[in-house]
Amino acid sequence: MRFLSALILCVVFGALIATATPREDELGAGSVSSSLGGAGLASLGEPAATYLNPANLSLCKRSTAEVGVRYIGSFFSANQTSTTPSNVNLLGNVVAGEVGGCIVPLEGFGIGIWASNNVLRPVTLAIDTLDDDIYFARFGDAIGSPTIMAGVGYAFIPWLSLGVSIFIHSTINISQEVFAPLSAAPNPFKANIRAQFSPRAGVLAGLSLRPFDFLELGATFRTENYGALNVDSRTSARYLMDIGPIHVTLAGLYDYSPRQYSFGVTARPISDLSLYVDLNIVQWSLYPGPFDSATPDPASAISVGIQFPPHEDFTFRDVYIPRFGVEYAFAQGLTARVGYSYHPAIVGLPQFTANLVDNDTHQIALGAGYRTQGETVAFKVDGFVGVHLMPQAVVAKSSPYTFGGTALATGFTTGLEF
């Protein structure tokens, strides 16, 4: 019976792992901001402003259409410090696409569109597992979950712009049957799992101030949002005797994006040099998870008797993420960029049964861009490469281990201004 209960839990929790989806705010948007370490909130007037700060859509000088592609690979490992073999995880390795546009119907007014498929799964729902698997809170398996954003920005007066964007994620429905013969009996183990993921939407509001020609200020507020997850599992088996049906329902969260406040400054001490400083305040302390609450069917004595793993309380905390970028414009439309950001850990190290881990992360980014000087139509291309470095940390439990690694992001964006 213990084996059967373990198998049932592996199937149910495995379904949760396989269908979680990513936040949209971990790796940024657009090649220009990505090459600046995610900075540029105060002044980047391009389609990616729909994602960064919709108030800057008013800074689009001409209508623009862009397409981009980026490769993201996350390489993290967890190594047992005892005699147990190393547990190495290759978490993400994917090519993602981005499409954006900025429509300028009149001067000082911009309409932005931005779409991309998210690529890395963050916080997993499978916190208490039946094995020793280790999960990273902010970098995970590659999953495509399209995000569509639309926004507007308007300069009410020449030095003040306001904007708002709405972003929407798709609905996912999954239904599957799993068969696992336990013996030569005619009725093997059978589980039917249905998962319903609700669509979700969020709002990003922003403002942009330009008090002087050499100084620009920006601020944004992003709402907290997430989708509801409901899983219905019905299991039956023949293992020495008829068992079932076992009916368990689970509820949880997916695709969580925390409430955020962001502030940015862009300074130009000389005409060709731009300095970017941003600060993101991310309120992870309000995160109502991670959790997976299981409710057995009271009509089934077997369902009620299943022993689910205990939960561990996590200390999710607010984090302050500084971002710095430098951009220099050479002659003939060529621009070079460098950036850095520091992302503190959002959760403390596990103490008991759970294996959800995170550590402070440093990001270093480089990039370049080129724009033609056409009066009617201008061509542009921007590229970047960024590395997220997570130093090794030690989890001191009964079975201690170390974890850490890197994530690599590189790509380019090309488009036309007309």
Distances (CA, A) of 238 to 5, 90, 235, 247, 294: 13, 37, 11, 16, 23
Phi, psi of 285 (to 5 degrees): -65, -20
Task: Assess contact for 249 and 214: CB atoms under 8 A.
Answer: no
Structure tokens at 233: 């599992």
Dihedral through CA 379, CA 151, CA 72, CA 387, nearest 10? Answer: 90
Q: How many CB atoms lie within 10 A of CB 317?
A: 15
Q: Which amino acid is at 281?
A: I
Domain count, the chain: 1
Contacts of residue 276, Cβ cutoff 8 Å, sequence gap at least 6:
36, 39, 40, 42, 43, 264, 265, 266, 323, 324, 325, 326, 327, 339
pTM, rounded to two decimals? 0.80
Residue pLDDT tens, the chain, 418 long:
433 343 333 333 333 333 333 344 566 688 999 999 999 999 999 999 999 999 999 999 899 999 999 888 878 888 876 555 455 555 667 788 889 999 999 999 999 998 887 544 444 444 344 345 677 877 765 545 567 889 999 999 999 999 999 987 655 444 444 444 444 444 444 555 555 555 567 899 999 999 999 999 999 999 987 666 566 666 655 444 555 556 656 555 556 778 999 999 999 999 999 999 999 999 988 877 665 555 555 666 655 555 555 556 677 899 999 999 999 999 889 999 999 999 999 988 887 767 778 999 999 999 999 999 888 899 999 999 999 999 999 988 777 888 999 988 899 999 999 9
Task: Give the span between the Cα atoms of 271 and 193, in whole angstroms.
Answer: 61
Q: Which residue has the tokens 């799964």?
A: 121
Q: What is the pLDDT of residue 401?
A: 86
Q: What is the pLDDT of residue 328?
A: 98
What CATH number is associated with residue 123?
2.40.160.60
Half-sphere exposure for 215 (CA within 13 Å, toward CB): 2
Half-sphere exposure for 264 (CA within 13 Å, toward CB): 33
Q: What is the pLDDT of residue 324?
A: 97
Alpha-helical regions (H) of 348-404: none
Q: Which residue has the tokens 């009271």?
A: 298
Which domain covers residue 122, as residue numbers?
2-417
Which string of b and e fits 358-393 if b means at least 16 CB within 10 Å?
A: bbebebebbbbbebeeeeeebebbbbbbbebebeee
Task: Give the span between the Cα atoms of 236 and 92, in whole angstroms.
Answer: 35
Q: Which amino acid is at 325?
A: G
Structure tokens at 65: 């259409």
Task: Give the span between the Cα atoms of 204 and 55, in whole angstroms.
Answer: 10
Query: In 3-state terms, what secondary structure has residue 129?
Result: coil
Task: Give the span between the Cα atoms of 257 and 118, in whole angstroms.
Answer: 13
